[in-house]
Chain A
Amino acid sequence: MFAYVVRRLFIGVILLIVMSLVTFLLFFLMPQDPARVACGKNCSIAQIKQTEKALGYDKPALTQWTDFLQGVVVGREYPEDKSLREKAPELISDCAAPCLGYSRVNQVTVSEEIKEAFPVSASLAVLAFIMWIVGGILFGVIAAVTKGTVVDRGIVAISLVFYAFPTFFIGLFLLKFIAIKWGWVDVPSYTTIAEGGVGGWLSNLFLPALTLALFFMAGYVRMTRAFVLESMTEDYIRTARAKGLKRGPVLFKHTMRAALTPLVTMAGLDFAGLLGGAIITESVFNFNGLGKLAVDANVSYDLPTLIGLVVLLGSFVIVANIIVDVLYAVIDPRVRVG
């Protein structure tokens, strides 16, 4: 098992290096010139060249990529200008290892940007995860045990509606009616626990988390219902009922244990993906998480931030995959890794 994990981690690191290279190359293959955009109006060619230097895009792409890798290992300083370091050291920004880069657009290290945005995305992901897991499983089980009834059909129909609606629609709808028109809650604005206490943190997260949760919940309702129904037809369930076990213990002790195993695996992967930011929900509610950071970086041609996010989000997915693979072996002893 240990050797397997080490091997997977090693492959993961290689994958991250390749991903960063591909992102660099794609960025410099774009027809847009970020220096021209950043230079503003009325810029001469010479001034655009200067801006290119200021943005750090004046070196060949491959050199910039190797500089980036070097920064991850040993750290860097920005700008890398020895004469400026001597004459005006206050202008230099140090970026300690593992340095993911320095955003010239926002004038901070990428690590600082991520440090600020990650708690927003993580808070949103955690609350949404709790909502959708609890709601998804609860309504899924209710639908399964009331199969064919109005309740079942109602739950399935409503979940289909939420699954079909785009997240931005649900978000804008909740924002417009619940927060603005009816005034049931304030217009959400991310507040840390330190700033607003647990109550403030939760109340501001409620609508965006609900937006995310409704979408995922709809899928989990349908999957839970299907898995539970499938398990209920298994021979051992029939045997348990034939032996005189009551419906409740059969459902909770035998049916759900089997039905929920694949859901746990899926939930883990969905949660890991969400940690990387919910682009649409964060944009609709103006939550400055990793998803919105990625959108803004894309709009402003902020390569260092894009690279940093690609590496971070790639890491999440790689680590989540390794955990899931290992969990498979733990949950089902018939599965052997390696």
Chain B
Amino acid sequence: MVKYRKRLFAATAAIALATTLAACGGGSDSDGSSNPGSSDPGADSKAGGTLYYYIYAPYEHVDPQRTYVGVELTNFRRTIYRSLVAFPISEDPEVANTPVPDLATDTGTKNEDATQWSFTIKDGVKWEDGQPITCEDFKYGASRVFATDVITGGPNYILSYLDVPTDKSTGLPIYTGPYNSTPEGQAAFDKAITCDGNTITYKFNKPWPDFGLAVASLSMMDPYRKDKDKGAKSNYQMFSNGPYRIEGSMWNKNKGATFVRNENYDASTDSTDIRMALPDKIEFNVGQTTETIYDQLIQDSGDAQYAVTSQRVPPAYYSQIVGDAEARSVLVPSPYVDYLVPNFRRLTEPAVREALKVATNAEGWITAGGGEKAYAPAESIVNPAVIGYQDNPAFSGPQAGDPEAAKKLLEDAGVQMPYPIKFTYPQSDTADKQAAALKETWDQAGFDVTLDPLGDTYYDVVQQPDKTSDVMWAGWGSDWPSAITVTPPLFDSRPNLTANSDGQDYGAYKSDEFNALVDEAANAADVDAQTAALQKADEVLGKDVAYIPLEIAQFFFLHGSKVTGYVNTPASSMYPDLGPIGVEQ
């Protein structure tokens, strides 16, 4: 195991080195501009020019209270929407996961049990029309999250944290948002978030020690101007308080938008640790296919020389990423982990779940899925970029699967063999090959595997309590760099399991020991205590084989040759970080 861990460390270091070298190759040498991948990304880059950002899938929301996708959050956080605190530009996870002040004067003060947080808003910060950003704007922004029949799709943690009573008939807070709440609801909300001059105070019904991390990661607590709010009609409206503003006022879902400089942005209220705002213009171009995007980036001519993308290199194009293109490519681990979920309603025998784990050929899955440019090995459901990450001892060691050892476990358990199991996964050509790789060693171990590929109905099926799947595929990424947004939402049976749905606890895992540790983490007054409880909770999950980690998806990107300061950071969810990125003039 020690040897394996050393090998894994060496492999990780090699990937990191290769990534750094690849990124270094992307730097320009014509005008002494940036050296991406250095410890100070963008330091030598120059302001000016137009950066192009190629996007394939349309963004569903750009409203800050409705945005919930990592790449969208980071793109807007660096350009249009500022918040109380933000993550700095850094490739070092420890630095990148430590919030720094943005619109607030500091990173906030909490009371002893972390149930109350206060922030003071900086003087001189303004909206794009020159009006000052006030405490009331922050309060109004948070209030919109409560309008769950209007402001949909966004992160809603504040509904369960903010100290607003719950309406027992609906199971939702009695405050229903700024549009049509009752006076009682409004009064409860006004008590939970208070403004005293420029100081805003949030009162929670339970400790929220990592509130700062949540604020820096998600835009649900961002300020919003009441006079600009048109409810759901504001979904594609952008009203800036950052270094750029949108040309026009609306993001075009199918075309994107052009960001130009915001004349009312005062760089002295900001930090270059968060955003350097180098390009004069950023053109977001939505809708080209991934193949067309990469044909242009590989060709590296015209606008594509100044372009970055959030699309990964398709496996069919791997062979074309050579020479100059290879020097412009980066391979970095994503914040996402894919895993298998045994169904506890069907695989009730612990030895059977253990045998399934032992026989799982995660290496075969990775190879069939495209190899090291597509995936890296995982030893926990928690991503290594998350604060307090540790390998789960249950999953350390070789990951090629050991059918012989698994067979012995099944035989010792005295179960009928071959043991029939059904593996359910979202169908794709690649997933079919990966599933076949898993089936091979599972069958060798004494299981009789039926593959059950599903289309668009996947999540609707695996959430059903009466599903007939024995093991299912799933994937997850943290909402902020804390395991509190990973294991509790996925395995705490209390909010997940209902008569009609298994929620996100697809395997119907139920453990008092795990839930007690979740409660301990939820009631912890500081991040260290919370992390310690969550580390123990992950060990319980490993011991029970509540999940089997498969891999960490890799991000393999290419950018244009005239892009400077290119870097992918934990703060940008490992997508291109627009904080330091510029273009050659």
Contacts and interface: CB of A to CB of B under 8 A. Distances in A.
Interface stretch (B154-162, B195-203, B344-352): B154-162
Interface string A53-88: 111000000000000000000000000010110011
Given A54-B149, A107-B233, A187-B288, 18 more contacts: A31-B461, A36-B460, A38-B153, A40-B153, A40-B154, A41-B68, A42-B155, A42-B489, A45-B500, A47-B172, A53-B149, A54-B152, A54-B232, A90-B231, A91-B179, A91-B231, A176-B295, A186-B302
A55 B501 CA distance: 21
29 contacts: A36-B459, A38-B153, A39-B152, A40-B68, A42-B156, A42-B157, A42-B504, A45-B500, A46-B170, A50-B148, A50-B152, A54-B150, A83-B180, A84-B179, A88-B180, A88-B231, A90-B230, A90-B231, A90-B233, A91-B232, A104-B232, A107-B236, A172-B291, A175-B292, A180-B295, A180-B301, A181-B299, A284-B292, A286-B287
A180 B296 contact: yes
Contact of A91 (B60, B233, B501, B504): B233
Interface of B: 58, 60, 68, 148-150, 152-157, 159, 170-172, 179-180, 230-233, 235-236, 253-255, 287-289, 291-292, 295-296, 299, 301-302, 456-457, 459-461, 479, 489, 495, 498, 500-501, 504
8 interchain residue pairs of minimum CB distance: A91-B231, A46-B171, A286-B287, A50-B148, A288-B254, A31-B457, A88-B179, A40-B153
Nearest to B456: A32
Given A91-B179, A93-B233, A286-B289, A33 B460 contact: yes
B156 A45 contact: no
A106 B59 CA distance: 10
B495 A44 contact: yes
B155 to A, nearest CB: 7
A43 interface: yes
Contact of A288 (B153, B179, B287, B501): B287
Main secondary structure of the interface of B (DSSP, over half): loop
Given A42-B156, A300-B60, A180 B292 contact: yes
Given A36-B460, A107-B233, A107-B235, A45 B501 contact: yes
A84 B154 contact: no
A54 B456 CA distance: 22
A51 interface: yes
A38 B155 CA distance: 12
A296 interface: yes
A291 B302 CA distance: 29
Contacts of A40: 68, 152-156
Contacts of B457: 31-32
A175 B295 contact: yes
B460 A46 contact: no
Interface string A1-45: 000000000000000000000000000000111001011111111
Contact of A283 (B179, B231, B289, B460): B289
Contact of A183 (B156, B180, B302, B495): B302
A193 interface: no
A40 B254 CA distance: 21
Contacts of B291: 172, 176
Nearest to A116: B254
Interface in A79-135: 81, 83-84, 87-88, 90-91, 93, 104-107
A54 B504 CA distance: 22
Contacts of A175: 292, 295
Nearest to B171: A46
Contacts of A32: 456-457, 460
A104 B58 CA distance: 15
Nearest to A300: B60
A39 B230 contact: no
Interface in A163-220: 172, 175-176, 180-181, 183, 186-187
A283 B148 CA distance: 33
B497 to A, nearest CB: 11
B296 A87 contact: no
Contacts of A176: 291-292, 295
A87 B179 contact: yes
A283 B292 CA distance: 11
Residue among A31, A50, A107, A175 having the largest count of chain B Cβ atoms under 10 Å: A107
Given A46-B170, A180-B296, A31 B232 contact: no
A112 B312 CA distance: 33
